[in-house]
Amino acid sequence: MTFLMKNTLYLALIISIISSFPTSSYASVSDIATQAFFDGIIGQADPSCAGKNFYTRAAFLNAVNAYPQFGTSGSSDDNKKEIAAFFAHVSHETTNLCHIEEQDGKVSDSYCDQSKAVQYPCTPGKKYYGRGPLQLSYNYNYGAAGTAIRFDGLNNPEMVATDVDTSFKAAVWYWMTNVRSVMNQGFGATIKAINGAAECSGHNQPEVDDRVMFYKKYCADFGVAPGDNLSC
């Protein structure tokens, strides 16, 4: 066999192996969470909603770029379920990307956890109520998020509600830090990780059901089965 024939056969073998890989396994987050998908969520928000002209898919993708393992490090189905789960919680907590801030946050307490104030001291006059796609709350989350994504979370918590890139980065940071590790236990485990004390074990079943509804819808949009253990 000639040298040329050997190399031709070798190249053909490589091409055959590569082409046998399922291309869906390599779908990027942007391929899954398309502009049409994002618009389908925010399009349900009333035109008067603050989030309508605040949240953007570009800011979401910019945040994801800072956390390259988000929606990419599992199987094709796992990646789709993670993205579906993230947006299910976002849709629930913001009412389809309508709200930027917690609805009663401005009149609630400061959300200053004094037990963690040594490491994350609360700035007088600042309130750490829910803001952003996953409604970042409490001084320790603002402080830790600020360190991770480089903004002054304790002195300027308002930035999560005024700068869309910071807003989505804070949400993806929270997801990667506190939620993503339990995805393999089912969607119910992610509810517990986000708001288990207030919603799980029968504390607020309608809220749980709303999160599950969004998750199942987005899984259907992505053509993936939602799996088991959906509730907490």
CA 123 to chain centre: 27
CA distance 178 to 172: 10
Is residue 93 part of the annotated active site? The answer reads yes
SS3 101: strand
Residues of the chain falling short of pLDDT 70: 1-26, 105-108
Phi, psi of 108 (to 5 degrees): -90, -175
Q: Which residues partner with 14 through β-bridges? A: none
Which residue among 93, 101, 102, 199 is the active-site one? Answer: 93
Angle, alpha carbons 73-59-25 (nearest 5°): 25
Domains of the chain: 28-101+163-222 (1.10.530.10)
What was the pLDDT predicted at 27? 86
pLDDT for 103 equals 87
Residues 6+ apart with CB under 8 A from 90: 41, 97, 133, 134, 171
Q: What is the pLDDT of residue 47?
A: 95
CA atoms within 13 A on the CB side of 102: 20
Looking at residue 11, what is its pLDDT? Answer: 42
H or E stretch covering 84? helix 76-94
Strands (E), 3-130: none
